[in-house]
């Protein structure tokens, strides 16, 4: 949002989770409450939220969704429904890196001038079209 800009986040259904992450700028007023940058704010999704940005450009991330009403277990980058599923996921990862890594080294780096490409398990390579 530009400095001093105002915006209203419309209300959503009751029971929806909504979070606002304020990660760049100096301040923002949400419904007349002042927040400094690097704030994570849980919002009442069923109520409209009025944002008034501070004196410099601000950046925000809004995340919203209905609860899935399922158990959630997380460990590292993995999220599953049970601890057993997390353990199996780690085992799968350790066994084959989720299908294997086709490169000869774990820290593979390609030549800077090679450009973008995709290499498939059947050996095909897909390159971007040549520019005219």
- Both 28 and 42 in one domain: the answer is yes
54 in a structural domain: yes
With vertex at residue 98, the alpha carbon angle to CA 95 and CA 103, rounded to the nearest 5 degrees, is: 90
pLDDT of the residue at 85: 96
pLDDT of residue 56: 97
Q: Are residues 10 and 60 in the same domain?
A: yes
Mean of pLDDT over the chain: 90
Q: Which domain, by its residues, includes 88? A: 69-99
- CA dist 9 and 21 (Å) reads 14
Please indicate, yes or no, whether residues 12 and 49 belong to a single structural domain of this protein. Answer: yes
Residues 73, 61 share a domain: no
User: Does 59 lie in the same domain as 84?
Assistant: no
pLDDT of 132: 63
**Helices first, then strands: H and E counts in the chain:** 1, 11
- Per-residue confidence (pLDDT) for residue 58, from 0 to 100: 96
pLDDT tens-digit readout, 58-115: 999 999 999 989 999 999 989 999 999 999 998 988 887 666 777 778 788 878 787 7
pLDDT of residue 19: 96
């Amino acid at each position: 949002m530009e400095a001093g800009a105002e915006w209203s986040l419309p209300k959503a259904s009751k029971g929806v989770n909504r979070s606002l992450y304020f990660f760049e700028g100096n301040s923002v007023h949400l419904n007349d409450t002042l927040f400094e940058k690097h704030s994570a704010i849980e919002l009442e999704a069923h109520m409209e939220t009025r944002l008034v940005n501070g004196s410099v450009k601000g950046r925000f991330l809004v995340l919203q969704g209905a609860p899935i009403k399922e158990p959630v277990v997380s460990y590292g980058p993995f999220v599953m429904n049970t601890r057993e599923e997390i353990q199996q996921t780690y085992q799968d990862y350790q066994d084959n890196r989720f299908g294997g890594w086709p490169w000869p080294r774990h820290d593979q780096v390609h030549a800077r001038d090679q450009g973008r490409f995709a290499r498939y398990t059947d050996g095909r390579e897909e390159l971007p079209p040549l520019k005219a």
